Structure 1
Amino acid sequence: RPSFSITNEFILKFNQTKNSTEHKKLLEVARKNILKCKRKLGLKTLGCGRHVYLPAAWTEVMYLAQCKGEIQDEALNMLYASLDHACFDYDHLPALFFVAESVLHRLCCDASLKTYLYSVEIKLTKIGYLVFLRLFIFFLHGYLENFKQHLLRLQPYLLALYFCNESYQKYPNIFSNVQFILKTSEVICKREMPSESIFGPVKIYENTDSYTVGYQVSHLLWHCVSAWSCVQNNSPQLNNVLKHLLFHKTELLTNCWLDSGLALLILGEAAKLNMACLKVLMDIVRDFLSTVMSVQNQNKSCKVDDFSWAWNIVYLYTTILAEICLFAATSDLRKTAFVGFCKCKSSQKNILLMEKSEKQPELCETSILGLLEYFSSTISDNCDQVIWTGYYGLVYNLVKMWELQRDEEQDGFTNITWQTLQKIKDNEKDARIQNATHIAQAELNDPTDPFSRYSTKVLSNVQEEVFAKYIAWRIASALSKLFFYSTDVRIPSLKKSSIKRDQMKHLTTKSEPMKKRVLRFTVR
């Protein structure tokens, strides 16, 4: 081994040494490994290049993340950024399972023993979300059938995570990631190991014509991928696809919400480039939220559907809105996601100033300001989980948005965000919502008051891991190739030492014009 390789002995010595001179030497060795991993990860080239080898880099970074302090934070930030923008490649699967097992081990055997929440815990759940999101896409392609032993190794940790996930209920930003990990594992393990799975029966969609290998996807997901493909190719069929998508909007109410979450993620990616897609996205969520709240408000003696999972969809939608406000291609798209389509009233002035009432107000817009008005007017100690979770998600993402968009080119957008946050501070006394601001600020590593005009800017290396910028684009691209590239999906054999380039073309091919469109982050 080279003198700067990471070993178990090095990790123990790094974490336990009390000699300052020796610690400086060990820190220098760890920093050399950080630089080496950055090159292998290809952080500046979206994971592309001859020098990039992601499986080895992910493994090494996961080892480095066991060194406490700044090395741990930087390693986790690097891993999150890489998992966000890396392409889908069959050769990544063993390393992905290693990262998944390592994250679950640390969450169940380390984090769950703490009596308080700490920042590394937030990063681990975000990384776990991206890992299991990638595993689910590989599952849809039928690539996990030869990885049953890897899935079997995860099950003890998944069972432990299931029993300790209640401790995260006060923190929807973490709880949603944990719920996604468990739901994804439930579907994957039940399909791949029906006799060995620790999970109960899984409800799968019926009466659908869209098939992948061993799994039936919803019409809603299929049409969202189709809409994204139309936007990327400037297809004139986009309007027809969106009409069919609206026809299947009720599938968002299906109890198996995994496909629904993916559908919104992909449609949100299309909404960053197209106003019609943004309108359909907001209309679908408005109808979904109105239906859920009307059902929840019915008499408990009536037999109604259980929408206890609906908060997952609402929280995911608040994150998608924040990403559109930051990364959409045009200022009109960003403004619409924040303010909404209705220009007949100045909702900016009245937001959060109305008196709270037991009567649910009418939901007109599912923009950020529209949802703030809707949720803030009825939040209480005993309100439905959808209400306070949606409100929490909006405030949590607003704090991060305000920190990241402080740019001279976006002064107007920055001001309205700050004004909205200031009104929340002045009017909202709910401890759960106040907690959202503290957690968002801790995640940004900035202890100053998030509502102060003179708060210092977030460090540039922190910005890279606040939001997932590329994963939705990667997923949409992979699923579009799966659904539309060929009717005969070829599954590579694990016995082959290497996968032919043409065999993996539908997963690894990258389009240069597509990448340029996604990277338009500024007002210009």
Structure 2
Amino acid sequence: MPILKIPVKHYLGIVSQSQQKDFKKRFRKRAEETDTARTSSVRRNPFETTQGFVEKYNQAQGSKEQEKYENLADVFLIRCKRRAGFISGGEGKHVDLPGAWTQLLLLSLCNGKVRNDSLDVLVVSLDHAPIHAGQIPVLFHLAESIQYFLSSDTTLSDPPSSYKTKMLQLGYLVSLRLFIFQLTGNLNGHQLSSIYLHSLKGLLKCETRYQDFPNMLFSVHFMMRVGEVLCGLKLTEDTSVQVSVEAQEHGVNQVLRQCLFSYHCVQNNGTQLSQVIKQLMLLRDKLQQDNWVDCGLGLMILGEAAKSSMLCLQTLMSLHMVQTQESTQEMASQKASWPWQLEHIYCSILIDICLNSSCAEIKKTALIGLSNSSPCRCSGGLLTLLKQSHEDKWRLRYSVVQGLAHISRRITLSESLRNTAWITLQKHLNQETDPRIINAVRIIEGDKRLLENHRERMRSSHTVYVCVCAQSEWITRRLAHTLSKIWPPVKLTTHSANHRHRIKTTKPRKEAVSTARTGEGCPEPPQTITKGTHKTPRHGPSHLDLRTRTDIDLMKVVEDQWQKELKIVMEREEEIEKTVLEKRKQEDEETIMKKRMEKVKKHTKPYELP
């Protein structure tokens, strides 16, 4: 067997045994230092928010390092605004919505002004950002965090505040986006976690806590209803879960589809708008029977179309007028009226139209109602909703009072519109006896003070201004645009783009700037808009274009057709009542003759000779 000699190379040279051990220790130490240098070279982004920063920020309150962490938090917030596309509407190469929303939610855990500022940016970003399927994981994360915060014992024990109102509004926007993804079928490959279901059951505790605040209670009910649809379950008061057949078989609502068709016709100048409106009016009973979330989404899309179409606005009001007439009749059942959540959505739609429509005539109609309606019928406007003095309608009056307060303080609106809203609000408050509605005005006054302080702080810090009580103004446009792309209507003809008639604003730009400089108060003397009259504002006449005039004429045709149908239905009911009365008469006579036969044993009628 051969002997193999393996050569031994001494890299350390000819050294002693003790020196070799010393060299090996040095080499090991140098290798460890190089490894640590390599790992330390991969550093975290210094402008990225982490859980550790939030803990250090909260611990530094009241210490010397407070100013340092506040400046660092402002830098984080500016970076999050850029990543969320705060100025560009959530679009651009630099936009990373999931990452920005996650960091903004972490920043909202900080105490002090950073919490409110981060929530404001997050609410506005969720309102105006486009809808993409890549947002689904972060939306579920936001929903779980919001629901866990709202159902915690500390949150339920504390009184309602502006921070909780923003969290509820945030939960509403997140649930609305998830519901859109459910309708479009993008949630088929996503499995709901047990954390989401557990936090959803915790929302049952919030119902009793927010009974006196309809806007907050509506957000809770919306999150619960959407969660039931997503999970295919039905929540009960004993915190148990039951399988919901309605949620499992959830499809596209007919009212929602017809409202989408009307929106598509308005956006593309479709010639079949009158046919779509007629079909929508035939589905008015579905608004009382179907799921209020689907119907409310359809009314929101119809309200988005009503911002530029008088016909869609009058259709929206006619749907509400029909159900109010049916609910006030003596023989009507309890199911004739809309659920209060749908009434709240209808009120918020009218407020949105008054604030953000581009046509002065549409704004005035949304505020005071239909001027060509008869005096015996409700006009369907925002002001007429205050006349519903029934005890069950106090939530609707609560929403109207808050809406009128916002309209009277919007300096970009015309003076006549603001003054009408302010005078009507003051008259109603002098007659209102419900303390819950009076409390709504106090809450608005408190929000106004917070808004003024927020404005001063934003001016001093030179950051982007965000409204403290920001309302959802862009999300309906986003969801209507998304759904109309997925479910395009069939056989809708459109005019060419060169012949489109667009509604222009009647108020000049210089006049708007001059009114904005005057402040938020109502000028003197007040100029009101009376119902049934078309007084033009002081800045100039309000011109109706061809499209608006044709919409009004079409609406008159629809109303005449509806009156004919109503007359036919009334005649049928009268005939049925007559037949029922005749049958009852015959039955009574037969019973009398039977009794006479038994007693007297005669077939003749009383007082009749044989």
The equivalences for 1:111-510 within 5 A come to: 112-150=155-193, 152-190=194-232, 199-202=241-244, 204=246, 215-292=250-327, 294=329, 304-305=334-335, 310-342=339-371, 364-372=378-386, 374-375=387-388, 378-379=389-390, 383-384=391-392, 387-403=393-409, 405-407=410-412, 410-446=414-450, 461-463=465-467, 466-484=470-488
1:58-113 deviations in Å (ceiling 9; x for gaps): 00000011112211111111111111111111111111111111111211126633
Q: How far apart are the structure 2 equivalents of 1:519 and 1:266?
A: 21
Which SS does the other structure have where 1:200 is aligned? strand
Contact 1:444 1:466 in 2 (8 A): no
Contact 1:80 1:465 in 2 (8 A): no
Q: 1:465 to 1:521 in 2, by over 3 A?
A: farther
Q: 1:306 to 1:67 in 2, by over 3 A?
A: farther
Match of 2:146 in 1: 103
TM-score by length of 2: 0.68
Q: 1:314 to 1:111 in 2, by over 3 A?
A: farther
1:424-448 deviations in Å (ceiling 9; x for gaps): 3322232111111122333444489
Q: 1:291 to 1:184 in 2, by over 3 A?
A: farther
Q: How far apart are the structure 1 equivalents of 2:451 and 2:125?
A: 26
> By how many angstroms is 1:12 displaced?
2.1
Q: 1:149 to 1:310 in 2, by over 3 A?
A: closer
Q: 1:5 to 1:422 in 2, by over 3 A?
A: same
Q: How far apart are the structure 1 equivalents of 2:110 and 2:450?
A: 22
Q: What percentage of aligned pairs have identical amino acids?
A: 32
Q: 1:86 to 1:97 in 2, by over 3 A?
A: same
Q: How far apart are the structure 1 equivalents of 2:508 and 2:299?
A: 24
Q: How far apart are the structure 1 equivalents of 2:373 and 2:182?
A: 47
Question: Could you tell me which amino acid in structure 2 is paired with residue 145 of structure 1?
Answer: N
Question: Could you tell me which amino acid in structure 2 is paired with residue 78 of structure 1?
Answer: V
1:16-64 deviations in Å (ceiling 9; x for gaps): 3343431111111110011001101111111111111101000000001
Contact 1:402 1:418 in 2 (8 A): yes
- Which has the larger Rg? 2
Question: Could you tell me which amino acid in structure 1 is paired with residue 156 of structure 2?
Answer: L
Contact 1:365 1:371 in 2 (8 A): no
Question: How many residue pairs align between the two structures?
Answer: 446
> By how many angstroms is 1:201 displaced?
4.4
Which aligned runs of 4 or more in structure 1 are off by greater than 6 angstroms?
517-523
Q: How far apart are the structure 2 equivalents of 1:410 and 1:249?
A: 34
Q: 1:13 is matched with which residue: 26, 51, 56?
A: 56
Gaps of 5+ in 1: 206-212, 348-361, 449-455, 487-511
Q: How far apart are the structure 1 equivalents of 2:398 and 2:118?
A: 28
Gaps of 5+ in 2: 1-43, 491-496, 510-610
Question: Could you tell me which amino acid in structure 2 is paired with residue 224 of structure 1?
Answer: C
Q: 1:46 is matched with which residue: 75, 89, 92?
A: 89
Contact 2:326 2:336 in 1 (8 A): no
Q: 1:101 to 1:262 in 2, by over 3 A?
A: same
Question: Could you tell me which amino acid in structure 2 is paired with residue 398 of structure 1?
Answer: L
Contact 1:228 1:267 in 2 (8 A): yes
> By how many angstroms is 1:170 displaced?
0.6
Q: How far apart are the structure 2 equivalents of 1:92 and 1:30?
A: 25
Contact 2:265 2:271 in 1 (8 A): yes
